[in-house]
Amino acid sequence: MYKVMIIDDEKSLRNLLKMTVPWESLGLEVAGEAASGIEAINRIDEIQPDIAFVDIQMPFMDGIQFSKLAIRRYPDLKIIILTAHSDFAYARECIGIGVCEYLLKPVSRAEVREVLERILRKLEAREPRQEVPVLLQGNENVSRIVEYIQASYQDPDLNLTAIAQKFGFNPSYLSRLFKGETGKSLIDYLTEWRMEKAILLARQGSLMYMTAKAVGIPDPNYFGKCFKKYTDQTYTEYVKKLKKP
């Protein structure tokens, strides 16, 4: 079954796509979603989608910027751009960076299905990807990576693929090894380390947008989601509690 990711800052559109497309009958599953390009680029290594629906206009990182980065990491990724603009310049730029399809909003169920069926034919025609075997030396390598994460967490481009490339490892293999050694995924560890640093900054009175940028998550909306998931409180609630006598 092929994995799909939906990236759009409009929750209503994400929900509409999830509800109106017969995913299972097409041999597809919605494996994840994101409300911004930055959130998506932080999650793409975890999800590793085969197909991505991407809104062209999003805050902090638009659909074209995201697509450039995503295709660079995953050349086989099939991207469907969603846009309200019929301007040919947009379409030409999308084609130039390797975007697979281009849909105008509002999209119909029939249009989406037609596009997906075309993409599925391409996916089924390609040769199966071969995973390169990588020899690792257990805890020593994981320890080095943990140290690197702790030293480099402020870099917004730090993610599974970047770390794998830095150390010369296969991303999928590294992901499995890291989880096997630590009990959690590399992305979860990176996010938790960032949240611990964010808590320290919150205690120092740092404003949320400054804290978000300082810990390597420049999208404050995505940072807010991560912080609440980690602490069960919004950033504002956390800071207010600190101020109480």
Position 135 scores a pLDDT of: 40
CATH 3.40.50.2300 placement within the chain: 2-125
pLDDT category, 136, cuts 50, 70, 90? very low
145, pLDDT greater than 70: yes
Tokens at residue 229, please?
A: 């998931």
pTM over the 0.85 mark:
no
Q: Which residue has the higher pLDDT, 107 or 87?
A: 107
Tens of pLDDT, residue by residue over 46-104, are 888 999 999 988 888 888 888 888 888 888 899 998 887 665 566 566 666 677 788 88
Position 124 scores a pLDDT of: 78
Position 96 scores a pLDDT of: 65
Q: Which residue has the higher pLDDT, 25 or 140?
A: 25
Position 94 scores a pLDDT of: 64
pLDDT category, 126, cuts 50, 70, 90? low
**Percent of the chain topping pLDDT 90:** 38
Position 132 scores a pLDDT of: 36
Position 129 scores a pLDDT of: 46
To the nearest whole number, what is the mean pLDDT of the chain? 85
Tens of pLDDT, residue by residue over 194-210, are 999 999 899 888 999 99
Neighbours of 106 (CB within 10 A): 10
- Rounded to an integer, the average pLDDT of 23-51 is 90
pLDDT category, 29, cuts 50, 70, 90? very high
CATH 1.10.10.60 placement within the chain: 140-243
- Rounded to an integer, the average pLDDT of 30-39 is 92
**Percent of the chain topping pLDDT 70:** 88
Burial (CB < 10 A; 0-12, 13-18, 19+), residue 70, is buried
Yes or no: domain 2-125 corresponds to CATH 3.40.50.2300: yes
| CATH number, span 140-243 | 1.10.10.60
Whole-angstrom distance, CA of residue 46 vs CA of residue 178: 13
